[in-house]
């Protein structure tokens, strides 16, 4: 049996430090197919991406090993999918079509080179699922694995859907699931390996990318990616719009696998529905006469603030939610 290194990988496996910066780049680029809209792909000083609308939607997310993922729980491809989804979902939440990703990748010299290449495969696969391509990036030595993804999108002639447009009387609606990623993380921390569906949801979120542009075309007044938890992100909408967001828990999607995971761990699944992050569902408000596009479903409503009482915020089943409600990187 071959000797093992610090990650349980064979010492004979080629490491990032063995192939060097440019060898690693060559391996990564070989995993990156280029789709439509890319004029110049990886290999030059910059990529060139078409922007037919004349405006560019752009966002960045950074995933750090030990904070956002653990390699003993997620494969390299899982990490690539998850990193891409975090930024692609933000583009969709603006009502835009994702077009391209640029990736910064940091890794220790002892990391297996194939791990880095497999991560790029996951990035490319998730980008393709959203209709985008990975068009470039950079690699650097780091103390742990870091994946920084910048996503670019095209508004295709539509106005961007902001957090600040919700109006009293609007319907609050959700596209996508809730609580599955948080349930999967809780199971992994407790040493469980099933139900597999929620473990998969934690490792590879499934944002409803097409729902973002569909909501914009239908007339959504505001929208946000639910990355930090439903209550936390609803609060962002409320504060930006100067309104009260009312959530009706009886209307929240409740996966049987989330319920099963809660039974296994002896906890309340509603905590995951309201405060669990990283499912990357889309939360939007629609004027009351709007026909909401599939897969959006009503989960509440938008109310006006009352002079002399509490300002913008979130109510859950009529009760004001005063603190917390989701993930905070510095909490």
**What's the pLDDT band for 26 if we cut at 50, 70, 90?**
confident
**What topology does CATH give the domain 163-321?**
Phosphoribosyl-aminoimidazole Synthetase; Chain A, domain 2 (3.90.650)
- The answer to whether residue 235 scores a pLDDT higher than 70 is yes
How far is residue 323's CA from residue 97's CA, in Å, rounded to a whole number? 34
Instruction: Tell me the mean pLDDT in the region 238-251.
Output: 98
Task: Delimit the domains of the chain by residue range.
Answer: 16-154, 163-321
Where does 16-154 sit in CATH, by number? 3.30.1330.10
Instruction: Tell me the mean pLDDT in the region 218-237.
Output: 97
pLDDT reported for residue 83: 97
Return mean pLDDT, the chain.
91
pLDDT reported for residue 11: 61
Count other C-beta atoms under 10 Å from residue 302's C-beta. Answer: 24
- The answer to whether residue 331 scores a pLDDT higher than 60 is no
How far is residue 126's CA from residue 84's CA, in Å, rounded to a whole number? 6
pLDDT reported for residue 19: 80
**What's the pLDDT band for 9 if we cut at 50, 70, 90?**
low
Residue with token string 């093992």: 4
**What's the pLDDT band for 5 if we cut at 50, 70, 90?**
very low
**What's the pLDDT band for 27 if we cut at 50, 70, 90?**
confident
How far is residue 9's CA from residue 2's CA, in Å, rounded to a whole number? 9
The β-bridge partners of 160 are: none
Q: How many residues does the chain have?
A: 331
pLDDT reported for residue 33: 74
pLDDT tens across 53-92, in order?
999 999 999 999 999 999 999 999 999 999 999 999 999 9
Instruction: Tell me the mean pLDDT in the region 156-174.
Output: 98
């Amino acid at each position: 049996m071959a000797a093992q290194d610090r990650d349980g990988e064979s010492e004979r496996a080629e490491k990032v430090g063995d192939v060097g910066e440019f060898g690693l780049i060559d391996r990564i680029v070989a995993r990156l197919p280029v789709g439509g809209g890319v004029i110049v792909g990886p290999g030059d000083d910059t990529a060139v991406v078409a922007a037919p609308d004349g405006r560019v939607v752009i966002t960045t997310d950074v995933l750090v090993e030990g904070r956002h993922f653990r390699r003993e729980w997620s494969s390299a491809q899982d990490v690539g999918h998850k990193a891409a989804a975090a930024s692609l979902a933000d583009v969709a939440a603006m009502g835009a079509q994702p077009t391209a990703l640029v990736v910064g990748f940091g890794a220790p010299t002892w990391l297996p080179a194939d791990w880095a290449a497999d991560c790029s495969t996951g990035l490319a696969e998730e980008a393709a699922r959203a209709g985008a391509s990975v068009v470039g990036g950079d690699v650097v030595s780091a103390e742990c694995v870091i994946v920084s993804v910048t996503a670019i999108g095209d508004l295709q002639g539509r106005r961007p859907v902001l957090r600040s447009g919700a109006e009293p009387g609007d319907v609050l609606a959700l596209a996508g699931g809730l609580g599955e990623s948080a349930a999967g993380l809780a199971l992994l921390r407790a040493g469980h390996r099933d139900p597999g569906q929620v473990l998969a949801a934690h490792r590879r979120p499934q944002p409803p990318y097409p729902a973002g542009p569909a909501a914009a075309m239908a007339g959504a007044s505001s929208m946000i990616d639910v990355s930090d938890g439903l209550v936390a992100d609803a609060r962002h909408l409320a504060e930006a719009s100067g309104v009260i967001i009312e959530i009706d828990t009886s209307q929240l999607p409740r996966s049987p696998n989330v319920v099963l995971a809660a039974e296994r761990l002896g906890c309340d699944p509603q905590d995951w529905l309201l405060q669990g992050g990283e499912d990357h569902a889309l939360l939007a408000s629609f004027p009351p006469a709007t026909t909401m596009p599939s897969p959006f479903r009503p989960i509440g409503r938008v109310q006006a603030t009352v002079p002399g009482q509490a300002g913008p915020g979130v109510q859950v089943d009529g009760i004001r939610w005063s603190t917390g409600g989701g993930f905070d990187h510095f909490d």
